[in-house]
Amino acid sequence: MKFLKYLLSEGIEDKGIFKAVFMAGHPGAGKSYTLDKIKSGSIEPRLINTDKFHEHFKNAEWSTVEDKVKRLNNAQLALYLNSMLPLAVDGTSGSIQAMLRRRGLLESMGYDTAMVFVNTDLETAIRRVQGRERKVDEKFIRESFKKVNENKKFYRSKFDTFIEVDNNDGMLTNKAVNHAFKFLTSFYNAPVKNIIGKRRIKKMKANTWKYLDPNVMPMSEIKGIVSVWYRK
């Protein structure tokens, strides 16, 4: 578990606790790049992305490391949730069902949620994805692009806190970055609105509890949430 050593935190005293932003967008939109450009300088959201640990084993045969990657992803998310850390969630915008399930899990724990929808035109998306080391079939890119953009109107209706960012070539200007930066900073720094989160923060501070486990939510329950999170 050496990859997880950097997860240590201050728990209940951390900034941005019980806050999660869903980074939505089609393949090639540049969600991770955009997040790096616009995230708050005072709060470092933890990225939830199943490809994160996969990169550590990119030269290995997938069948030999698949179980290890799954265990690392599960352990990472469980630690993040136990510490109530600020999150940036990637990889769900193509499936409304998965996004709603994951959003519901976070809100049931006490999280406020928001969405940043990153957009480009189709030609830019295809060029960027085909320029990556891991090749993706163009048909898949086109189908994903269509599906994600069809979902956008629905996502906008479901998130009270929603912003769209244009990441076409040359469009992520200083003005655009500053606008999105202020959006994220305001969200992560605002007091928690979720009534569950507010009650838990109050109770934990009163009892000087640092993490959810064991007094608020046992690790077994947190791991149960993680298993539902990654359910296919």
- In the chain, what are the domains? 2-229 (3.40.50.300)
* pLDDT at residue 29 greater than cutoff 50: yes
Q: Which band of pLDDT confidence, cut at 50, 70 and 90, is reported for residue 1?
A: very low
Handedness of CA 231, 81, 102, 148 (dihedral sign): negative
Supply the angle between the helices 219-229 and 62-82 in degrees, to the nearest 10: 130
- The answer to whether 117 touches 24, Cβ cutoff 8 Å, is yes
pLDDT tens sequence across 155-197: 999 999 999 999 999 999 999 999 999 999 999 999 999 999 9
pLDDT tens sequence across 4-15: 444 445 678 888
